[in-house]
């Protein structure tokens, strides 16, 4: 019998050491684990039980984005890694590349549909316990470790995110491991320090690949390890500490570029404020400042208990800075919080989804507070004050607990009643839909098992730039759908009409809708199901029978191939119309284009395959609906390097309101690589399409 504290002998069989000295944990360790498990379980039940009462047997998920992760996990289990839906192609839309790896085995073992939420809840529970364990291990002999579990779950706004089914709890566990690994790299004997640095670097890389806002914290932790490396050379220490995260981010960027044409993941392309090409510097800064004000007030001050109670947590973090024990780590957390806040404020959706983008930053503050407690608690003169301040930091935010629990339950019911019901109705449709067009909707394709096309681009599809097109405007999304074979085009849509009027009106016929009451989380009260009709789109290749080259304006693939540029940010807005086309035998054709303001220009480069010689340029435009539609004129210039080859001033004739107008321009000489510049002179120029034809 081995008593507590007694060491086991080393067992050697055939010269192989099977075990090293193992010391059983003291009874206080097991009591602490019981205490931690009880605290985490109590908070989890406080959120889950009311939500389950609202959703019935349906596992509560207060965010539709949870099901996006479920979709990635299912694809991984089926052998389609990094795909939102099997056979849709690579997707960079999953914020965390690590989280689906944990969910996939549960799906493979039989937790299908909404039941995968049970696995997500179990993962969240284990991650929160592991975070508490890591924070306690930073001062293992301290009795202050008993305060760690209640402090970790003290902020109801953060608890909402801990338990919602997203990657936040996993981030918390990896944050704790990264801090513990960094601490061990700073305190271990020199002979083991290099190995500890590399281990910490690996945890840091996993942390950043789970929440990209933590990249500033990663850099600060790496520099802290280099600063505390003492006898080790700084550059090798930096390589071990930050090499893994640098390699991971570089590899992710290269893969994104190879499969999507973008260095950034789809979430950054879609959500960053300055990704919208029409956003200028001043208006973007105003939006950033608006985010900053709202997040500081709602995501931090109110979440921490309001004024002056938020000062308690701030004082504990400050205590970690002024005491020597964990100064480097606490400073790194402070830098990480500030850098992460800047990154979050660049996100156009930061103020939505119950401020979930603040959750990783709140976790950093909590970890800094724990380090402050460990540091201040060692000094006798500060122990009483530390206990009082810690009690305030734990108790003060609790007044938000009823509101957050109620919001969690109502939001879960919203997702179940709207997205879940839409999925049920889609799966019951006859004939069964071939593909559904959605806008960043996770539950609908996951639960219905109808292959999706995400118009916002986070789901990825056949490598086409849907994320980039969606920030240009919905007509640019339609231009990409036009590129697809008819068998790949969605035959149904499940979208919010207010978001997608530019698509549902010309291409949709309403067949069903799901409206909910008491909406607190969905983008609108009603999500509508439409049958689609894409017959007004131009069939692929129809215009190339006589064309030497053509440019389909607002088709981002075509624009990139022709180095097309529009006068951003104050111009080039995407527009669209469906009019009669004489070119196509008098049938109605949809086309997207761009609006070029008066005095500004669009420009593009002719394909290199075009041989030098005469040609005819045909430009498509429309009637803008004004009473002076005949009063427009444009200037057309063809440049070859610094030389102007052709220059024309053209009057745009009066246009019939129901028909496309095609302006014909003879060019005496044009060649591949020439740049064509079209300048709007007296009025805005509505540019839709250009063909370069044989004379």
Are the C-beta atoms of residues 205 and 243 closer than 8 Å to each other?
no
Cis peptide before 400 (omega within 30 of 0): no
Query: Residue 482's closest CA among 495, 467, 464?
Result: 464
Q: What is the largest CA-CA distance in the chain?
A: 100
Inter-residue contact 678 to 636 (CB < 8 Å): yes
Q: How many CB atoms lie under 10 A from the CB of residue 672?
A: 14
* 5: exposed, middle or buried (Cβ count in 10 Å: 0-12, 13-18, 19+): exposed
CB atoms under 10 Å from CB of 233, counted, come to: 11
Show contacts of 345-350: CB within 8 Å, 24+ apart. Answer: 345/288, 345/289, 345/291, 345/292, 345/295, 346/272, 346/273, 346/274, 346/288, 346/291, 347/271, 347/272, 347/273, 347/291, 348/271, 348/272, 348/273, 348/276, 348/287, 349/271, 350/291, 350/295
pLDDT 10s digits, 418-430: 999 999 999 999 9
First vs last C-alpha separation in the chain: 98
- Sequence-distant (≥ 6) Cβ neighbours of residue 535 within 8 angstroms: none
- Give the residues across from 453 on adjacent strands: 437
Dihedral sign, CA of 259, 261, 265, 269?
negative
Token readout for 545 is 């029978």
Highest mean pLDDT among 540-544, 607-611, 652-656: 607-611
Q: What is the pLDDT of residues 49-70, one digit of tens each?
A: 999 999 998 999 999 999 999 9
Chain centre distance of CA 690: 35
pLDDT of 223 over the 60 cut: yes
Q: Are 299 and 154 in contact (CB under 8 A)?
A: no
Domain with CATH 2.60.120.260 in the chain: 542-693
Helix (H, G, I), strand (E, B), or coil: what is residue 691? strand
Nearest to 532 by CA among 548, 511, 563: 511
Q: What is the mean pLDDT of residues 584-596?
A: 93
Strand partners, 655: none
- pLDDT, residue 263, reads 95
Phi and psi for 687 in degrees, rounded to 5? -105, 125
3-class secondary structure, 54: helix
CB atoms within 10 A of CB 226: 21
Banded pLDDT at 16 (limits 50, 70, 90): very low
pLDDT, tens digit (0-9, with 9 covering 90-100), for 64-94: 999 999 999 999 999 999 999 999 999 999 9
Question: Per-residue pLDDT averaged across 100-119, rounded?
Answer: 97
Give the H or E element holding residue 345: helix 327-345
pLDDT at residue 543 above 70? no
> Residue 544: what pLDDT?
58
The answer, yes or no, to whether residue 325 has pLDDT greater than 70, is: yes
Q: How far is CA 353 from CA 346, 357, 407, 546, in A?
A: 16, 8, 11, 51
CATH number for region 542-693: 2.60.120.260
Question: Per-residue pLDDT averaged across 535-546, rounded?
Answer: 76
Rounded Cα distance between 600 and 372, Å, is: 58
Is the pTM value of this prediction over 0.95?
Answer: no
Strands ordered across the beta sheet of 661-670 = 547-552, 689-693, 613-621, 661-670
Q: Are 656 and 632 in contact (CB under 8 A)?
A: no
Q: Are 610 and 552 in contact (CB under 8 A)?
A: no
Determine the distance from the C-alpha atom of residue 521 to the mean position of all C-alpha atoms in its chain, rounded to a whole number: 17
pLDDT value of residue 13? 33
SS3 content of the chain, % helix, strand, coil (to 5): 50, 15, 30
Q: Which band of pLDDT confidence, cut at 50, 70 and 90, is reported for residue 501? A: confident
* 640, β-bridge pairs: 643
- For residue 410, pLDDT beyond 50: yes
Residue 545 — pLDDT band, cuts 50, 70, 90? low
Residues 6 or more apart whose CB falls under 8 angstroms from that of 124 comprise 44, 162, 163, 165, 169, 170
Nearest C-alpha neighbor of 673 from the set 611, 601, 602, 616: 611
Instruction: Note the pLDDT tens digit of each residue in 235-272.
Output: 999 999 999 999 999 999 999 999 999 999 999 999 99
Average pLDDT over residues 585-600: 95
The position carrying tokens 């949870």 is 66
Q: Grade residue 539 by pLDDT with cuts at 50, 70 and 90.
A: confident
Residue 41, phi then psi, degrees to nearest 5: -65, -40
Q: With contact defined as beta carbons under 8 Å apart, do 156 and 404 qualify?
A: yes
Confidence of residue 24 (pLDDT cuts 50, 70, 90): very low
The strand order across the sheet containing 675-680 reads: 601-605, 675-680, 633-640, 643-651
Q: What six digits make up the tokens of 488?
A: 């790949």
pLDDT tens readout for residues 462-490 = 999 999 999 999 999 999 999 999 999 99
| Res 444 pLDDT > 60 | yes
Q: What percentage of the chain exceeds 90 in pLDDT?
A: 85
On whether the CB atoms of residues 416 and 55 are closer than 8 A, the answer is: yes
Beta carbons of 576 and 556 less than 8 angstroms apart = no
Amino acid 468: pLDDT: 97
The DSSP string of 158-199 is HHHHHHSSSSHHHHHHHHHHHHHHHHHHHHS-HHHHHHHHHH
């Amino acid at each position: 019998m081995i008593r507590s504290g007694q060491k086991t002998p080393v067992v050697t069989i055939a010269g192989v050491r099977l075990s090293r000295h193992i010391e059983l944990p003291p009874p206080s360790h097991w009591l602490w684990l019981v205490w931690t498990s009880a605290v985490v379980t109590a908070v989890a039940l406080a959120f889950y039980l009311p939500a389950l009462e609202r959703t019935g047997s349906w596992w509560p998920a207060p965010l539709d984005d949870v099901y996006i992760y479920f979709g990635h996990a299912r694809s991984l289990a089926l052998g389609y890694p990094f795909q939102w839906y099997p056979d849709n192609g690579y997707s960079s839309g999953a914020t965390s590349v690590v989280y689906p790896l944990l969910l996939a085995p549960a799906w493979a073992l039989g937790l299908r549909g909404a039941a995968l939420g049970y696995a997500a809840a179990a993962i969240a529970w284990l991650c929160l316990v592991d975070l508490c364990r890591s924070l306690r291990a930073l001062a293992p002999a301290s009795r202050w470790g008993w305060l760690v579990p209640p402090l970790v779950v003290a902020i109801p706004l953060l608890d909402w995110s801990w338990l919602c089914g997203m990657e936040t709890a996993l981030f918390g566990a990896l944050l704790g491991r990264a801090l513990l690994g960094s601490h061990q790299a700073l305190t271990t004997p020199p002979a083991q320090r290099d190995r500890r640095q590399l281990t910490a670097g690996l945890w840091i890389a996993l942390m950043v690949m789970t929440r990209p806002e933590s990249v500033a914290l990663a850099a600060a932790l790496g520099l802290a390890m280099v600063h505390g490396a003492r006898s080790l050379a700084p550059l090798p220490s930096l390589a071990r500490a930050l090499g893994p995260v640098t390699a991971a981010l570089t590899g992710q960027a290269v893969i994104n570029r190879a499969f999507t044409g973008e260095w950034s993941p789809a979430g950054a392309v879609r959500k960053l404020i300055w990704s919208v090409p029409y956003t200028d510097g001043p208006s973007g800064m105003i939006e950033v400042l608006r985010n900053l004000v709202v997040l500081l007030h709602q995501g931090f001050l109110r979440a921490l208990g309001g004024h002056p109670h938020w000062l308690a947590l701030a004082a504990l973090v400050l205590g970690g800075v002024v005491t020597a024990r964990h100064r480097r780590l606490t400073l790194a957390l402070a830098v990480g919080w500030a850098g992460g806040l800047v990154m979050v404020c660049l996100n156009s959706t930061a103020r939505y989804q119950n401020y979930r983008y603040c959750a990783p930053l709140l976790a950093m503050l909590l970890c800094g507070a724990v380090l402050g407690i460990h540091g201040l608690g060692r000094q006798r003169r500060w122990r009483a004050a530390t206990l009082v301040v810690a009690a305030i930091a734990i108790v003060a935010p609790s007044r938000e607990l009823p509101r957050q629990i109620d919001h969690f339950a109502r939001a879960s019911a919203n997702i179940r009643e709207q997205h879940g019901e839409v999925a049920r109705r889609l799966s019951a449709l006859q004939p069964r839909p071939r593909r559904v067009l959605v806008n960043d909707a996770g539950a609908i394709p996951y639960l219905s098992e109808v292959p999706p096309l995400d118009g916002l681009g986070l789901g990825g599809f056949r490598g086409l730039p849907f994320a980039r097109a969606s920030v240009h405007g919905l007509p640019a999304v339609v231009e990409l759908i036009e590129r697809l074979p008819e068998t790949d085009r969605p035959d149904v849509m499940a979208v919010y009409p207010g978001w997608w009027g530019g698509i549902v009106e010309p291409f949709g016929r309403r067949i069903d809708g799901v409206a909910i009451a008491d909406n607190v989380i969905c983008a609108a009260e009603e999500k509508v199901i439409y049958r689609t009709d894409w017959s007004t789109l131009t069939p692929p290749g129809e215009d190339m029978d006589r064309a030497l080259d053509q440019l389909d304006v607002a088709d981002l693939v075509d624009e990139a191939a022709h180095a097309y540029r529009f006068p951003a940010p104050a111009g080039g807005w995407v527009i669209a119309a469906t009019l009669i086309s004489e070119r196509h035998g008098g049938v109605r054709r949809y086309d997207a284009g761009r609006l070029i303001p008066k005095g500004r220009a669009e420009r593009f480069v002719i394909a290199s395959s075009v041989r030098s010689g005469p040609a005819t340029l045909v430009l498509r435009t429309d009637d803008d609906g004004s009473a002076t539609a005949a009063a427009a004129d444009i200037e057309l210039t063809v440049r070859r390097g610094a030389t102007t080859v052709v220059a024309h001033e053209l009057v745009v004739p009066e246009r019939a309101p129901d028909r496309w107008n095609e302006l014909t321009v003879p060019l005496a000489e044009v060649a591949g690589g020439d740049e064509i510049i079209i300048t709007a002179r007296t009025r805005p120029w509505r540019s839709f399409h250009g063909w370069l034809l044989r004379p």
